[in-house]
């Protein structure tokens, strides 16, 4: 038999009615015609960028058809025109994306075409970094399972994506937790120009089997075979049988995108695969099954072309987006009232910072049932390496406070997915030094989600992590990472320096619709004590606190350095130097009005931070003061930070020389006061 569909097997045996099969055929034809039209529009200069889907139709339409549109969630990748159409994305919506229009439901013209997002269809926002969608799918699956939701998740990618760490982390998480996720890989033999042999050692399905899930490879050009595998996997997931992996072996007919010269495929290969065209396969089957004749075939083609022309016309005429600044944050924050009075310790019970965090987590999780806390070693009986999570698993159950595999990217990625389906995840990175594998998920995904989906999705996740030095933690338990993340629009970054603030900022972070990175100065965990109010206590994000007053200079600091600065101020007062201390508490957004008011009050500013000085957060504060408040200054802005070191050395005799100290702050303050 020249074509790929086994004539003995019948679609009815697979539970596909004649009408449904014809509908699948229609969607496959439409997908092909969309691709043709996109290429034509590109050549005419009307569509700047095309991602081609031709050849993948059976893999896409066959998998999407296995989903229950009432409940299930989908994370298609950029090539998945057939998935998007199969799930109900309208042609107009698709072309609004191609023409990057204001009403483009995917991104309001912010992302390239084919970066799908449609909350109404439960299609979660897709971005460009390869593989980042897999942990999102695991997170969605986790939350659906936890809630007993009837839905399951399907996530798609190319075979190149299976080399990314996120792919492996997500499969591992799905495997260890038995999550209802179906992983579909459309193996078209090339990742742009890189052939399969240079991409994958061994067999794709073995990769998945290693994570403890059923895994099979199917002819991706045979829509019935694809559907059979997908519906089995979907049923298994829905019945509580956990994740599955499906490799669809297929081929893309044209170049990777309109930017690709396509000069890497051997002569004859394309022609060989064209003979296995998935649409021709299904057409032949339909004809043999007497479900399609020449007239109906022509009618389906004409229908597709007419619908396309109408959609292109409507979409192209739609208004362009106008405001590039919209949607950076779901809740933009800008403090407008400067802090003038010293922040008094609130009434409450005295405790250290780590106890305050533990109590806050207990209260928050009791008050907000959507909260879920997870990370490495957080579950009872360990309760976190700093003991801040003790009792949470016992109090709220093993599904609300749980250990994850040791894989930071998927910790954050899963949080993003959980939040997409209504959870309020509190993800923990055990030490800030180990947050870097999650940089992509934090910066490219969480921080950009609201913006890139034109406000379609929020990302209310909290990422807590202990950071900073002065604890003999050496190079990999001492890092200050705030500058990397405070640089990123879309993220909020907070750092408490008192037990009350640790609780209050955490509470505000959990309730905020944007991703919030909470950096906890671990040196202060047991060093600082203070009064902490019982019950809900919120410290507004974006508002600094005045810790000390003084008219000779202002010390701007945060975290441990704010604590040190307060002590330095007390000792300087005995020398007759009045040093005001402004504790920023939030690094992004910066409480500029309070900084500006402080500059006007004292006209001299010392910025203290324990990161290395060059390019640190203090550089930004200093630059803003120089730009906006220059006339108020009586001396150059001074910075006191760590010298240019790759973090603090282990030996006390070395670390003590370079870790910023109370004496150091006093020294710099004296110089500034005398200027």
Ligand X SMILES: Cc1ncc(C[n+]2csc(CCOP(=O)(O)OP(=O)(O)O)c2C)c(N)n1
159 part of the interface to ligand X, by CB under 6 A: yes
Binding residues for ligand X restricted to 356-385, rule: CB under 6 A: none
146 part of the interface to ligand X, by CB under 6 A: no
Q: Which is nearer to ligand X, 160 or 384 (CB)?
A: 160
Minimum distance, C-beta of residue 276 to ligand X, in the bound complex (Å)? 17
Contacts with ligand X, 280-319, as mask; x by CB under 6 A: ----------------------------------------
Q: Which residues pair with 424 in a beta bridge?
A: 371
Contact 632, 605 (CB under 8 A): no
Q: How far apart are CA 675 and CA 664, in angstroms?
A: 17
Sign of CA dihedral 264, 184, 112, 101: positive
Binding residues for ligand X restricted to 218-257, rule: CB under 6 A: 256
How many residues touch ligand X (CB under 6 A)?
15
Q: Which of 48, 88, 129, 165 binds ligand X (CB under 6 A)?
A: 129
Contact 165, 409 (CB under 8 A): yes
Q: Could you count the other beta carbons within 10 Å of the beta carbon of residue 150?
A: 12
- CA dihedral 566→500→524→360, nearest 10 degrees, is -170
Of 17-25, 98-106, 155-163, 530-538, the segment contacting ligand X by CB under 6 A is: 155-163
Minimum distance, C-beta of residue 73 to ligand X, in the bound complex (Å)? 21
Minimum distance, C-beta of residue 247 to ligand X, in the bound complex (Å)? 12
Q: Which is nearer to ligand X, 86 or 469 (CB)?
A: 86
| C-alpha separations of 114 from 35, 68, 327, 403 in Å | 11, 22, 20, 35
* Three state DSSP letters for 471-482: CCCHHHCCCCCH
Of 157-165, 369-377, 430-438, 543-551, the segment contacting ligand X by CB under 6 A is: 157-165
Of 61-69, 128-136, 400-408, 495-503, the segment contacting ligand X by CB under 6 A is: 128-136
Work out whether strand 529-532 and strand 349-352 pair parallel, antiparallel, or are unpaired. antiparallel
Q: Which is nearer to ligand X, 163 or 661 (CB)?
A: 163
Minimum distance, C-beta of residue 195 to ligand X, in the bound complex (Å)? 10
360 class by beta-carbon count within 10 Å (0-12 exposed, 13-18 middle, 19+ buried)? buried
Q: Which is nearer to ligand X, 190 or 558 (CB)?
A: 190
- CA dihedral 512→459→621→521, nearest 10 degrees, is 70
Q: Which is nearer to ligand X, 191 or 426 (CB)?
A: 191
442 part of the interface to ligand X, by CB under 6 A: no
Q: Which is nearer to ligand X, 17 or 128 (CB)?
A: 128
Q: Which is nearer to ligand X, 129 or 578 (CB)?
A: 129
Of 154-162, 427-435, 527-535, 649-657, the segment contacting ligand X by CB under 6 A is: 154-162
Q: Which is nearer to ligand X, 16 or 137 (CB)?
A: 137
Is-catalytic flag, 477?
A: yes
Contact 281, 223 (CB under 8 A): yes
Contacts with ligand X, 65-84, as mask; x by CB under 6 A: --------------x-----
Sign of CA dihedral 395, 400, 402, 406: negative
Q: Which of 161, 353, 356, 581 binds ligand X (CB under 6 A)?
A: 161
Centroid of chain to Cα 347 = 38
Q: How far apart are CA 406 and CA 298, in angstroms?
A: 55
Q: Which of 55, 105, 113, 160 binds ligand X (CB under 6 A)?
A: 160
Q: Which of 6, 18, 119, 128 binds ligand X (CB under 6 A)?
A: 128
Minimum distance, C-beta of residue 88 to ligand X, in the bound complex (Å)? 22
130 part of the interface to ligand X, by CB under 6 A: yes
Q: Could you count the other beta carbons within 10 Å of the beta carbon of residue 203?
A: 12
Contact 52, 254 (CB under 8 A): yes
Minimum distance, C-beta of residue 260 to ligand X, in the bound complex (Å)? 9
Q: Which of 194, 128, 210 lies closest to 159 in space, CA to CA?
A: 194
- CA dihedral 330→332→333→334, nearest 10 degrees, is 180
Tell me the two tokens of residue 349.
């019970």
Residues 6+ apart with CB under 8 A from 562: 497, 547, 581, 583, 584
Give buried/exposed letters for 207-219 (b at 16+ CB in 10 A, else e).
bbbebebbbbbbb
Q: How many residues does the chain have?
A: 675
Minimum distance, C-beta of residue 230 to ligand X, in the bound complex (Å)? 18
Question: What are the backbone angles phi and psi of residue 564, rounded to the nearest 5°?
Answer: -65, -40
Minimum distance, C-beta of residue 462 to ligand X, in the bound complex (Å)? 26
Of 115-123, 124-132, 140-148, 567-575, the segment contacting ligand X by CB under 6 A is: 124-132
Minimum distance, C-beta of residue 194 to ligand X, in the bound complex (Å)? 7
Q: Which of 4, 82, 151, 158 binds ligand X (CB under 6 A)?
A: 158
Minimum distance, C-beta of residue 220 to ligand X, in the bound complex (Å)? 12
Contacts with ligand X, 81-110, as mask; x by CB under 6 A: ------------------------------
Binding residues for ligand X restricted to 175-204, rule: CB under 6 A: 186, 188, 190-192
168 part of the interface to ligand X, by CB under 6 A: no
Q: Which is nearer to ligand X, 124 or 190 (CB)?
A: 190
Q: Which is nearer to ligand X, 192 or 272 (CB)?
A: 192
Of 123-131, 142-150, 479-487, 505-513, the segment contacting ligand X by CB under 6 A is: 123-131
Q: Which residue is nearest to ligand X (CB)?
A: 158
Residues 6+ apart with CB under 8 A from 463: 412, 415, 427, 428, 429, 435, 438, 442, 446, 515, 516, 517, 518
Q: Which is nearer to ligand X, 171 or 330 (CB)?
A: 171
Minimum distance, C-beta of residue 77 to ligand X, in the bound complex (Å)? 7
Alpha helices per DSSP H over 560-651: 560-574, 592-602, 617-628
Of 118, 136, 256, 477, the active-site residue reads 477
Q: How far apart are CA 153 and CA 67, in angstroms?
A: 9
Contact 88, 94 (CB under 8 A): no
Catalytic residues, by residue number, are 477
Contact residues: ligand X, CB under 6 A: 79, 128-130, 157-161, 186, 188, 190-192, 256
């Amino acid at each position: 038999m020249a074509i790929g569909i086994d004539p003995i097997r019948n679609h009815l045996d697979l539970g596909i009615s004649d009408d449904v099969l014809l509908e699948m055929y229609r969607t496959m034809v439409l997908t092909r015609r969309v691709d043709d039209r996109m290429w034509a529009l590109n050549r005419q200069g009307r569509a700047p960028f095309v991602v081609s889907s031709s050849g993948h139709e059976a893999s896409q339409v066959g998998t999407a058809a296995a989903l229950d549109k009432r409940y299930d969630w989908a994370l298609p990748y950029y090539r998945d025109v057939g998935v998007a159409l199969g799930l109900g994305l309208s042609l107009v919506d698709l072309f609004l994306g191609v023409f990057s229009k204001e009403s483009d439901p995917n991104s309001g013209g912010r992302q390239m075409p084919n970066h799908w997002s449609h909350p109404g269809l439960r299609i979660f926002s897709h971005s460009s970094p390869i593989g980042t969608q897999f942990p999102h799918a695991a997170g969605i699956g986790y939350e659906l399972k936890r809630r007993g939701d009837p839905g399951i998740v399907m996530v798609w990618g190319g075979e190149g994506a299976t080399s990314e760490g996120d792919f492996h982390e997500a499969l591992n998480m799905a495997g260890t937790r038995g999550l209802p996720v179906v992983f579909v890989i459309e193996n078209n033999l090339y990742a742009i120009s890189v052939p399969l042999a240079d991409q994958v050692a061994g067999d794709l399905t073995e990769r998945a089997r290693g994570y403890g899930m059923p895994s099979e490879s199917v002819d991706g050009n045979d829509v019935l075979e694809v559907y059979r595998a997908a519906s089995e996997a979907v049923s298994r997931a829905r019945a509580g049988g956990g994740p599955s992996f499906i490799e669809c072996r297929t081929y893309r007919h044209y170049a990777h995108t309109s930017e690709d010269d396509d000069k890497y495929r051997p002569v004859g290969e394309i022609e060989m695969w064209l003979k296995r065209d998935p649409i021709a396969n299904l057409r032949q089957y339909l004809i043999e099954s007497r479900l399609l004749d020449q007239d109906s075939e022509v009618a389906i083609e004409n229908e597709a072309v007419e619908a396309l022309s109408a959609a292109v016309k409507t979409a192209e005429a739609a208004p362009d987006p106008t405001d590039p600044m919209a949607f950076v944050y779901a809740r933009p924050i800008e403090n407008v009232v400067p802090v003038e009075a010293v922040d008094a310790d609130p009434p409450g019970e005295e405790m250290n910072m780590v106890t305050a965090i533990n109590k806050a987590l207990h209260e928050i999780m009791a008050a907000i049932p959507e909260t879920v806390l997870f990370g490495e070693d957080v579950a009872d009986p360990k309760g976190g390496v700093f003991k801040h999570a003790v009792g949470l698993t016992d109090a709220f159950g093993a599904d609300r406070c749980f250990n994850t595999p040791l894989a930071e990217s998927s910790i954050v990625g899963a949080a993003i997915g959980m939040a997409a389906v209504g959870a309020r995840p509190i993800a923990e990175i055990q030490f800030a030094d180990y947050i870097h594998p999650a940089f992509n998920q934090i910066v490219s995904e969480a921080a950009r989600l609201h913006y890139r989906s034109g406000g379609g999705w929020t990302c209310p996740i909290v990422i807590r992590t202990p950071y900073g030095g002065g604890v003999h933690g050496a190079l990999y338990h001492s890092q200050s990472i705030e500058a990397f993340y405070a640089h990123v629009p879309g993220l909020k970054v907070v750092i408490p320096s008192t037990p009350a603030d640790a609780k209050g900022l955490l509470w505000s972070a959990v309730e905020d619709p944007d991703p919030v990175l909470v950096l906890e100065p671990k040196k202060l965990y047991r060093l600082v004590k203070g009064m902490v109010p019982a019950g809900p206590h919120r410290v507004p994000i974006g508002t600094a606190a005045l810790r000390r007053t003084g008219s000779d200079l202002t010390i701007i600091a945060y975290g441990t350095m704010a604590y040190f600065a307060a002590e330095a101020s007390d000792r300087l007062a005995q020398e007759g130097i009045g040093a005001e201390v402004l504790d920023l508490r939030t690094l992004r957004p910066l409480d500029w009005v309070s900084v500006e008011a402080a500059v006007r009050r004292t006209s001299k500013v010392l910025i203290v931070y324990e990161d290395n000085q060059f390019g640190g957060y203090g550089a930004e504060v200093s630059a803003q003061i120089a730009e906006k408040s220059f006339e108020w200054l009586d001396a150059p802005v001074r910075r006191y930070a760590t010298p240019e070191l790759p973090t603090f050395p282990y030996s006390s005799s070395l670390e003590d020389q370079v870790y910023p100290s109370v004496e150091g702050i006093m020294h710099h303050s004296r110089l500034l006061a005398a200027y």
